[in-house]
Structure 1
Amino acid sequence: MNTPKLLLLSLAVTAALSACQKPAAPAASADATAAATPTLPPLAGFKTSDLDPSKNVCDNLADYVNAKWLAANPVPSDKTSWGSFEMLDERSQAASRGIAEAAASDKNATGITRLVGDLYASGMDTTKINAAGIAPLQPMLARIDALKTPADIAGYLREEFAAGRGDVFSFGAEADFKNSSQKIGYAFQGGLSLPERAYYLEDGPDGKYKAIREAFVKHVSRQLQNAGVAAADADKQAADVLAFETRLAKASLSPIELRDPNNQYHYVSMAEADKLTPHFSWTEFFKANGVQADGFSLSQPKFFAEFDKMLTDVPAAQWQAYLRIHAIDGMAPYLADTFNDERFDFYARTLRGQKEQKPRWKRVLDTVEGSAGEALGQLYVKQYFPAESKAQMQVLVDNLREALKARIEKLDWMSPETKAKAMEKWSSFTPKIGYPDKWRSWDGLATKRDDYAGNVLAAAKFNHDYEMAKIGKPVDRTEWGMTPQTVNAYYNPLMNEIVFPAAILQPPFFDPKADPALNYGGIGAVIGHEMMHGYDDQGSQFDAQGNFNNWWTKADRDGFDARTGKLVKQFDDYVAIDGLHVKGQLTLGENIADLGGLNVAWDAYQKALKDAGKSGGDKVDGYPEDQRFFFNWATVWRRNFTPDEAKVRLNTDPHAPANFRAIGAPSNMPAFAQAFGCKAGAPMVREGEQQVVIW
């Protein structure tokens, strides 16, 4: 949103699973106006009535558990996917809407309540927004019109980044890969409008990418015309924009290449950086952004070398066309309907198959989330996160930690030397549950009830300055990378922490009243998944302190790579849609985490049963608890996609399609075959060389 996320730190699940001291309860404050509790959509927990006995569970667990539900629950017209995550997100948004509307109606609100209220009220004032037209963007467009020389363009880029926007590349603050206790700056490749480089450089299956490029050029032309550019000139500028971005794409790494931490970190001194890009001074860039630093990560040197060449050999008019459309499309959601509708028509309808826009209130809530999400979250947890959920989650986390420890200790393929390092990393895991220990301050962010675009721009600048102030400072380990109202979880390898926002702690993931099988098959597997990210193909390259540092013997790493290679092949063999296969290398980290996490959750669940003097054969609602464990795992992964969304994700999403996640890990577990009496040779029973065993 306002600051870039390094890809490594997106090991946490985006729309799927990305997942100590107990945080103190937030203190009551005078500005925390209570909202009237709205009626929330129903919870999406597992129900035995969803099972389809006409299917064979040993053929496909996902079909047996989810086929009926998926057939009865197509993707809503205002979405591109629909499943367990989206249903919980509907509840989170309904709750947040009640909070935002109450804040907007409180004329005497102060502090974070006023902030949330101003953002929401200004975004809902469509009459004023439409009347303003392009006016909020005119100062930016005027600056672009005045650009003549490479120095002008470099100066404009510096100004835009300092304002919290920025084009061509991304820049943000993150822990130093080599010294994770300190924050440094990271410059990262970017600047593309289409999902990834292949959309510019290949025709794609059935010419799909070529058709998308053609639609993109038409979109750019229409959007420029909306801003007052004459049709013929808009067409020429649109062609220039595609050519400009194609050149950036040629210098960009692919999503699979970007998964390698070596391609995410390239530390240089300021002098070295200035030498690499002689026409773009990083010394001046840092100065413009109010940052003093000796060096930073210029993460993809090839990309930035090409960017520097483009400053001198791309005509100013072509630069202007590129910067102009990025300014317009970047602000389109906050401008008149003409701009927003055109942006939706290409990026959502054409690219991803979304039939209609979300209701206005949801779009405005997205803005509140992007601009001041933690402020909204501070109000959210006061109403929607019961203390007992945190207490039970802590027990589950502790149980999963012990199960993981036992699995590491029993590994027969890892040497004692490497195993000792793995245990050192295990001992330093930090779990975070519900919401942050301390809330960030929003003092100094001035907003109004009647200036939506102005509020968004002010928040972008405020949040950018907040991020820049971290560079050169010690890492604040109390910070969170997600808001409490986010239905997700994540692992951060640079802090060796696992994080579970409040909003995910509901069915089907977690239910304080549910039997252990459902909770261990749901949130237990999520906890295990996030822990296992510390030992996936990326996370395993970071040590107990969060530093990018090899702690493996060569023989152990070779053995690990051989095992994970089998998992790559397993997912490569899955055919997702229209003959297109899953990319096993792109999704490897998540698949390792699923496999290890579900095994760890199963171990913890078995111990919980033993401690309670129970057997996994005990029935609840007519089914043995051992089976209910796997039923809920599959329930978590029930999800429909529009065909276009599914195809975009195959190229860009480090998570495999949900139906394959539901079957991928269980098919490698003898416990699954035993729970359902599956015979050798069944599709859900992988044996011998086909079976993948890692952690």
Structure 2
Amino acid sequence: MIKFMLTGVGIATIACFSACNQGEKKVDATSPTPDAVASLVDSTMNPTQDFFEYANGGWIKRNPIPPEYSSWGIGNLVQEELYKRLRIINEKAVETPTDPISHKIAAFWKSGMDSIRINADGIKPIEADLKAIDAVTTAQQLIQLAAKQNIFTGAMCGLYVAQDAKNSDAMALQFYQGGLGLPDRDYYFNTDNRTAKIRQLYPGHVAKMLQFTGLDSNAAKTAATEVVALETMLAKSSRKLEALRDPEANYHKMAITQLNKIAGNIDWVDFVKQQGIKGNADTVIVGQPEFYTALSNAIKSQPLATWKNYLKWHLINSNAQQLSDTIANTSFAFYGTLMRGQDKQKPRWKRVLDAEEGAMGEALGQLFVKEFFNATAKKRYEALVEDIRGALKTRIEHLEWMSDSTKQKALFKLSKITKKVGYPDKWKDFSAMDIKSLSYPENVAAARTWWHNYEINKLGKPVDRTEWDMTPQTYNAYYNPSNNEIVLPAGIFTVPGKRDEELDDAVVYGYAGASTIGHEITHGFDDQGRQFDAAGNLKSWWTKDDETKFNQRAAVMVRQFNSYIVVDSLHINGQASLGENIADLGGILLGWDAFKKTAQFKKGDKIAGYTPSQRYFMGYSLGWLSHTKKEALAKAVLTDVHSPAKFRVNGPFSDVDAFYEVYSVKPGDGMYRADSARVRIW
């Protein structure tokens, strides 16, 4: 499911420190643990040439990427700590389940860890669905079955329930492009060597997976060729990554009968009914109408047998990780090893925790916060949010390029941003989720069914603005423009091996204040977020002149990031990554403004040989501590709206005047950009 409104920081970056008092930190000089940032430095590097390698290179040299990962960094270290904590929660639930939640957790964990049963069952868990596909004899039957299986597989298209972008008080049924087996439409067309190799090997992988469904090798090979050709047809009418970031261009509200007119070979009223949606679906929001026209045409032009094999492929592909090791490993060889560079799978217990997070993560979160996150930490980070909000308020007030009328509306929107810190005040009720002593695939299917029903039941009901779209133990964060809110889960406050008293304000303001809180608040005013008003509606509140000036300044950033080569000949997509790049730069500026008010900054005493100002920039860089295999970097360029870690440090730092002053950056240095080429937005 794609939701353009859930923009957040990248996986390796959102872990925050366990606390950040508003006064000066007292650092224990006799602490047995290495300094949080000084221990990472590569002293052979010059910070004015490549700050990322300088600030993080020492750690990167000492910490190779483990074989089961495609990248390794601070986010992985945080996740390792979370894995350990969550495993304890699961094992305790198995030993002594005390309430309905712990009974469900225990049942899910035991079924997922029962590899003997999973391997013995093989393809059995999806046999009934495969037989249903085989029984299809007409296009109408095909569409009805596809609608039912779409709930679990995402075949054909994307369908979800979310707030109406232009009426944030209403939930709406939304149609999005989808139905592809490769991560993005560009995989079907790009000509660079890496992408071309993946595309060349893709039909062979589809054929291997189809053999598990009962096709012999020759039939599977023919079917795979036809399935890939069908997906390529859908990809041709799918929008590029950067085009999906325009909220206005991806908003087409219409009666569902109108969708029948532009995609008439599918009865969309019936399609919706097959998903269990009984009412409140007369009007839908279609993201990319041309995709649905192409899908409709393909229903008529492509043989029924091809569509049936397409459904089989998406059925087994979406369930592969819950099936036998043979099937799961075959899937991993393509998506894990070839596409991401991982040499082996994570151990089963970690994969089960990953699945459990998707199935009932908030139920786990209720137990997690009881043990690992208290009310004091929640209040502490709520206070830091207000520091950052105040910094942005001052910046808006002093903008020279923005008119007073737009400033007043921007300040009003800023004042209305809701902060959600740590964990929800109201928890989801999982009592109806039918997790019990079943097989692992059955429990996963039960969770998927519950989530589908949970989402479609929102139609026609008031928007619940207290809801969280991430779990407390998630190491991520997001800004939701429809709610005008920033959400900062408890998991982002975890730093393995560090106590609160070891972290000085410089590091905390650079890391937690800039790369997370400041980043998310800035999302409310990036190229997407700025188009939503204080109430969360997609509505223009800018003067035309101010809008033009913003776009001109944003274009400078697009050109800057377009110039960066990530791997081989692949450049960053400056337009697709614009929102995240704006948020990175904004976060750095806001964190810096807030940090300058602290006692540590004013005193200027060195810690571990570094000034408070230097430690601030090193602290921000710690948030992006990671290195990534080339395969994963290439995939990220095509599919991720975030720039790779190195460029999330070096890119925005090159636009920050304070960085030039702290490190004496001069013309000719690698980090230098002429003043006229620096990005000046917020």
Amino acid at match of 2:136: L
Q: Structure 2: how far apart are the matches of 1:616 and 1:201?
A: 57
TM-score (norm: length of structure 2): 0.94
Which stretch shifts more, 278-287 or 318-327? 278-287
For the residue of structure 1 that corresponds to 2:510, the secondary structure is helix
CA distance 1:89–1:481, shift in 2 (3 Å): same
Counterpart in 2 of 1:75? 65
Q: Measure how far apart 1:693 and its partner are.
A: 1.1
SS at match of 1:174: strand
1:13: how far off?
A: 2.5
The 3-state SS of whatever aligns with 1:358 is coil
Task: Letter of the 1:125 partner, please give it.
Answer: D
Letter paired with 1:52: D
**Matches of 2:52 and 2:43, distance apart in 1:** 12
> Residue type of the partner of 1:5?
I
Change (3 A) 1:166 1:577: closer
1:186 to 1:195, Cα distance in 2 relative to 1, 3 A: same
Partner of 2:273: 287
Consecutive unaligned residues in structure 1, runs of 5 or more: 20-41
**Structure 1 contact 43–87 (Cα < 8 Å) conserved:** no
Partner of 1:30: none
Q: Is the 8 A contact 1:44 1:508 kept in 2?
A: no
What one-letter code is carried by the residue in structure 2 that aligns with 1:346? F
Q: Which residue of 1 aligns with 2:623?
A: 636
- Does the residue aligned with 2:117 lie in a helix, a strand or coil? helix
Larger relative contact order, structure 1 or 2 (CA cutoff 8 Å, min sep 6): 2
Aligned match of 1:34: none
> 1:367 aligned to 2:383?
no
Indicate how the Cα distance of structure 1 residues 43 and 399 shifts in structure 2: closer, same or farther if over 3 A, else same.
farther
Moved more, 208-217 or 467-476: 208-217
Whole-Å separation in 1 of the counterparts to 2:613 and 2:622: 15
* Corresponding position: 1:619 with 2:620: no
Match of 2:175 among 157, 162, 187: 187
Partner secondary structure for residue 327 of structure 1: helix
Q: Matches of residues 531-550 of structure 1 in structure 2 within 5 Å?
A: 531-550=521-540
1:15 aligns with one of 11, 15, 21: 11
Among candidates 34, 46, 64, match of residue 56 of structure 1: 46
Counterpart selection for 1:238 from 224, 243, 249: 224
Aligned twin of 2:23: none
Residues in 1 aligned to 2:285 and 2:204: alpha-carbon distance in whole angstroms: 36
DSSP 3-state at the match of 1:668 = coil
1:299 aligned residue: 287
1:258-283 per-residue CA deviation (whole Å, 9 max, x = no partner) reads: 11112332111122122222222222
Offset of residue 159 of structure 1: 2.0
For residue 247 of structure 1, the aligned residue among 233, 246, 262 is: 233
Decide whether the 8 Å contact of 2:213 with 2:312 is kept in 1.
no
Contact 1:509 1:522 in 2 (8 A): no
Q: Deviations over 1:299-330 (max 9, x none)?
A: 11000011111122211100011000111111
Matched, 1:352 2:340: yes
Match of 2:568 in 1: 578
The one-letter amino acid paired with 1:546 is: G
Q: Is contact 1:403–1:600 with CA below 8 Å preserved after alignment?
A: yes
Taking the TM superposition and a 5 Å limit, the aligned residue runs for 1:336-415 are 336-415=324-403
| Cα pair 1:509 1:636 within 8 Å, conserved | no
Matched position secondary structure for 1:491: strand
For residue 81 of structure 2, the aligned residue among 91, 112, 118 is: 91
Q: Secondary structure at the match of 1:623?
A: coil
- Assess, with a 3 A threshold, how the Cα gap between structure 1 residues 348 and 616 changes in structure 2: closer, same or farther: farther
Please say if residues 119 and 447 of structure 1, whose CA atoms lie closer than 8 Å, have aligned partners that are also in contact: yes
Counterpart-to-counterpart distance in 1, 2:261 and 2:34: 56
CA contact (8 A) 1:587 1:654 kept: yes
- Given candidates 202, 222, 227, the residue that maps to 1:216 is 202
In the alignment, the residues of structure 1 paired with residue 84 and residue 681 of structure 2 have an alpha-carbon distance, to the nearest angstrom, of 41
Between the aligned partners of 1:477 and 1:624, the Cα distance in structure 2 is 43
Comparing 77-86 with 43-52, greater Cα deviation is found at 43-52
Q: Shift in Å at residue 109 of structure 1?
A: 4.4
Q: CA deviation at 1:650?
A: 0.8
Question: d(CA) in 2 for partners of 1:426 and 1:271?
Answer: 39
Give the count of matched residue pairs. Answer: 662
Q: Write the deviation string for residues 539-564 of structure 1: whole angstroms up to 9, x where unpaired.
A: 11111111011111111111111111
Mapped contact 1:103–1:114 kept (Cα < 8 A) = yes
AA matched with 1:666:
F
Whether the 8 Å CA contact 2:37–2:618 is kept in 1: the answer is: no
Cα 1:414/1:397, change in 2 over 3 Å: same
Worse-superposed segment, 271-280 or 141-150: 271-280
Q: How does 1:580-619 map to 2 (within 5 A)?
A: 580-609=570-599, 615=602, 617-619=604-606
Aligned match of 1:5: 2
1:286, CA displacement in angstroms? 2.8
Whether the 8 Å CA contact 1:43–1:88 is kept in 2: the answer is no
SS at match of 2:170: strand
More deviation in 239-248 or 49-58? 49-58
RMSD: 1.9
> What's the offset of the Cα at 1:16?
4.3
How far apart are residue 622 of structure 1 and its match? 2.1
Over residues 397-452 of structure 1, what are the superposed CA-to-partner deviations in whole Å (9 max), with x where a residue is unaligned?
11111111000000000001111111111011001001111100012222223411
Task: Give the alignment of 1:144-543 within 5 angstroms.
Answer: 144-161=133-150, 164-202=152-190, 204-206=191-193, 208-288=194-274, 289-293=276-280, 294-507=282-495, 512-513=500-501, 514-525=503-514, 526-543=516-533
Deviations 1:454-492 (A, max 9, x none): 111111111100000012222101111111111111101
Correspondence for 1:664: 651
Q: Distance in 2 between matches of 1:96 and 1:665?
A: 35
Provide the identity percentage: 40
Contact in 1 for aligned 2:255/2:284 (Cα 8 Å): yes
What does the per-residue CA deviation read over 1:339-393, in whole Å, with 9 as the maximum and x for residues that have no partner? 1111111111111111000000011111101111111111111111133221211
| Structure 2 Cα separation of the partners of residues 215 and 509 of structure 1 | 43
Question: Closer, same or farther in 2 for the Cα pair 1:210/1:576, shift >3 Å?
Answer: closer
1:43, 1:212 → 2: CA distance?
44
Contact 1:528 1:597 in 2 (8 A): yes
The question of whether the paired residues in 2 share the 8 Å contact of 1:616 and 1:624 is answered with no
For 1:486, what is the secondary structure of its paired residue?
A: coil
